[in-house]
Amino acid sequence: MPRCTNCDTKWKLRNIWKLGFSKDGRHCPVCGKRQYISSESQRMMTIGFWSVLFILIFPFMIKLTDRDEPLW
């Protein structure tokens, strides 16, 4: 599971799914610092987002960043 880049808190599955559908990132539930899905993880999502396998393992594969990175 991904962890906050600021406080190293492990994110819950529910928060990861919310982050996956958010354009502007989400605040860490513990420290409040805004977290975004890394560009590496975003590229991975666009390639296989609709794959059932990907949907099942998505929460375990993404990485977080404290900067809003462009997709490419």
Inside any domain, residue 23: yes
- Whether the CA torsion 15, 66, 21, 23 is positive or negative: it is positive
1 falls within a domain: no
53-63 pLDDT, tens digit each: 666 777 777 78
Residue 72 lies in a domain: no
Task: Tell me the residue range of the domain where 19 lies.
Answer: 13-65
- The predicted-structure confidence for 20-62, as pLDDT tens digits, reads as follows 777 788 999 899 999 998 888 777 666 655 566 666 777 777 7
Total domains present in the chain: 1
Sign of the dihedral through C-alpha 22, 63, 59, 13: negative
> Which bin fits 25, alpha (ψ -120 to 50), beta or left (φ > 0)?
left
| 35 belongs to a structural domain | yes
The reply to whether 6 falls in a domain is: no
Please give the Cα distance from 27 to 36 (Å, whole number): 9
52 falls within a domain = yes
Has residue 54 been placed in a domain? yes
> How far apart are the C-alpha atoms of 29 and 65, rounded to whole Å?
15
Task: Specify if 71 maps to a domain.
Answer: no
What residue has token string 């928060």?
Answer: 15
